[in-house]
Amino acid sequence: MTIFCFGSINIDHFYRLDRLPAPGETVAARAVETGLGGKGANQAVAAARAGARVVQLGAVGTDGDAALTQLQALGVDCRAVSRLPQTRTGHAVILIDAAGENSIVIHPGANRAQDRGEVFAALETAELGDILLMQNETDLQPQVAEHAMGLGLEVIYSAAPFELEAVRAVLPFINMLILNAVEAAQLQAALGLAPEDLPVETVVITRGADGAEWVARGTPRIRTPAFGVDPVDTTGAGDCFAGTLAAALERGLDPGGAMREAAGAAALQVTRPGTAEAMPVAAEVAAFLAARTAPEPSP
């Protein structure tokens, strides 16, 4: 089984500050770092480190070789990634305060210039029951999701950064929708539908320190508690959760077990600086969960 991750590949620029600046204010950074990022790359690495075979689908520009080398070193197959001439690789500027909270500006670059033919050709190698994992930082999302569903893949869509029209367009072609609590509230207000009434098999809602919920039509909600940790950097926590969840489901775990594994991975990830490089490996997550007595997910 394979997880195909169609998503963004970014070069992240981190600026560590004592506090985030107010409008019009200049604040000096204590440290500056550069690393691999983008929701697609982050989720692909999280899934790969959780033990899944992951194929990255996406695009980089003329400055993307280092990002692909790093992505491959972290366990992701990048042979299907397009290299676009006269285009810059996507990048993000990430401000992180002393409490680990962040503020992010993204330039999409090559992520919004995908080659549909190359993405479709890569998906043709998939087998029935493989997973397509997507986010909201690329173009062609509805087209790729529809094509993947037609090939018999399970389609998981992480609706971040949240855009109502993007979510509305992709909803008919996905099996699982992953939202945070704010995004879920925005979607419900816009569509007038509770999560269990959306036209999708499963909705997963992440709630930060309040854990996460698995919502499937006709079944009780599964509530998964969060693990208490001291965060260093919360950037990428949602991506870690989504990628680990996809890998756990691909491995055959039931929803409760998969959600707990994803929560454990995200808790570990926020105790480390960085995004893709901070994703924990499966053995670390297993040890973390074994050492904790958090209650099992429950209705």
H or E segment to which residue 16 belongs: strand 10-16
Would you call 239 a catalytic residue per the annotation?
yes
Q: Judge residue 85's burial from the number of C-beta atoms within 10 Å of its C-beta, 0-12 exposed, 13-18 middle, 19 or more buried.
A: exposed
Q: Coil, helix or strand for 222?
A: strand
From CA 143, how far away is CA 176, in angstroms rounded? 16
From CA 298, how far away is CA 221, in angstroms rounded? 8
Residue 138 main-chain phi, psi, to 5 deg: -130, 170
From CA 298, how far away is CA 288, in angstroms rounded? 20
Which residue in 12, 77, 130, 239 is the catalytic one? 239
The number of angstroms, rounded, from the C-alpha of 35 to the middle of its chain's C-alpha atoms is 16
The pair of three-digit structure tokens given for residue 204, joined into one six-digit string: 């997963």
The answer to whether 94 touches 104, Cβ cutoff 8 Å, is yes
From CA 182, how far away is CA 27, in angstroms rounded? 28
The pair of three-digit structure tokens given for residue 17, joined into one six-digit string: 């500050």
What are the helix (H) ranges across the chain? Answer: 39-49, 65-73, 116-123, 141-150, 164-170, 181-191, 237-250, 255-269, 282-290
From CA 3, how far away is CA 8, in angstroms rounded? 15
In the chain, what is the greatest distance between 2 CA atoms, to the nearest angstrom?
53
Catalytically active residues are 239
